[in-house]
Amino acid sequence: MKIASWNVNSLNVRLPHLEQWLRDAQPDVVGIQETKLEDAKFPDAALAGLGYRSVFAGQKSYNGVALLARDRAIDAVQVGIPGFEDEQRRVIAATVDGVRIVNLYVVNGQDVGSDKYAYKLRWLDAVRDWLAEELRAHPRLVVLGDFNIAPDERDVHDPLIWNDGHILTSTAERTALRQLLDLGLHDAFRLHHDAAGIFSWWDYRQAAFRRDMGLRIDLTLVSDALRAQAVAADIDREPRTWERPSDHAPAWVRLDG
């Protein structure tokens, strides 16, 4: 099973890209973030034409998440973090072929010390508590999405800029991510790649993609029960080269068995 994550940064704009990538990459399950669509406008019929079932939770102009599964049932759907009141559509979870998949669009946080930064940390605390319960109920768990956190210095183009005082790389954010991993989750990419300088997001400004000034903030995490089955993981840069691309590239993990 090939499971992928992609922040499409507006599904209305990027639907042709998603359709092309689904045909080319043939993922079995995809978590999408930043659909920026109300549910009534989600293109489930178009995706069904490519063989993908869809479940989704969206809102107008902002946020929005979805899960797609090719020729597989999507069961036990959960929208939002249980017990955490939040109008923003950032979380959707479901079970596909016995694997529990949690798709997260983590809060950006705006600036270190801001109200939105404090909200991000509270949000991550709620996610950690919920995932601890999910792991007990579903040992075969994959958590994926746009985490808006670069795990360590290997995941940024310039550690002097992306430091403790910067959003996405502050100590508190990285600690919150580490606390998720400490539940018994593993960064699938790092199970197969030690190298620095492999990124999943590049700003639209300053010719960042051409200059490879990026961050790795799109992650696929696998539970202890799936670690040995995570036989490959990578980032597909190709869609970032297309005309009018998302600023993110898909990240994926392949489970064997």
For residue 250, give the CATH number of its domain.
Answer: 3.60.10.10
The CA distance from 137 to 102, in Å, is 13
* Tokens matching residue 44: 């489930």
Using alpha carbons only, what angle is made at residue 132 by residues 131 and 137, rounded to the nearest 5 degrees? 90
Q: 121 pLDDT band (50/70/90 cuts)?
A: very high
At residue 18, does pLDDT exceed 90? Answer: yes
| Coil, strand or helix at 211 | coil
Distance CA(225)–CA(201), nearest Å, equals 29
Q: What is the pLDDT of residues 138-180, one digit of tens each?
A: 999 999 999 999 999 999 999 999 999 999 999 999 999 999 9
pLDDT of residue 8: 98
Q: What's the mean per-residue pLDDT of the chain?
A: 98
pLDDT beyond 90 at 257:
no
Residue position matching structure tokens 């539970």: 223
- Count of domains forming the chain: 1
Instruction: Give the residue-averaged pLDDT of 56-70.
Output: 98
Distance of CA 140 to the CA centre of its chain: 18
Instruction: For 174-213, write each residue's pLDDT tens digit.
Output: 999 999 999 999 999 999 999 999 999 999 999 999 999 9
Cβ 223 vs Cβ 253: under 8 Å: no
pLDDT confidence of residue 237: 98
The number of residues in the chain equals 257
Residue 117 clears pLDDT 80, i.e. is over it: yes
Domain of residue 206: give its range.
2-255
* Residue 35 to residues 24, 42, 92, Cα–Cα distance (Å): 21, 8, 12
Q: Tell me if 74 sits within 8 A of 67, measured CB to CB.
A: yes
Nearest to 147 by CA among 103, 114, 86, 192: 103
Instruction: Give me the residue label for tokens 């009018």.
Output: 244
Active-site residue list: 105, 146
53 to 30, 93, 163, 230: CA distances (angstroms): 10, 14, 41, 24
Dist CA 10 CA 17 (whole Å) = 11
- Enter the pTM of the model: 0.98
